[in-house]
Amino acid sequence: MFKSNKTQEEPVIVVRDSRQVEADLRQALETAEAGERAGLEKALRIVTETASAPDSAVRGRWVREVLHASGTDIREQVAAVKALRTVRPGLSLTAAYQLVREAGE
């Protein structure tokens, strides 16, 4: 019933399948015909770069994409939190605020 004044961070889990996509591209590259190789190699470089991005970068990119799509300025924290929670109704107020704060750094 009583709450402490300590801020509790709620985890936001980043689910990525980049490693699986990378493995699939490597496998496709092994059997690719000459005309397909350049495109697959380029795709593999992009996926490898994306897969190596830290979770905080992935979360930040998602936040910025949502805010851009909604026309919301990240500096307007209340509106930014509302935009995130509109897109993901199950996102808690605390988690949305932390995502906005992290993306704005």
CA-wise closest residue to 26 among 11, 47, 7: 47
* pTM summary value: 0.69
What is the maximal distance between C-alpha atoms in the chain?
67
14 pLDDT band, cuts 50/70/90, is low
Determine the average pLDDT of the residues in 57-74.
95
Determine the average pLDDT of the residues in 14-26.
86
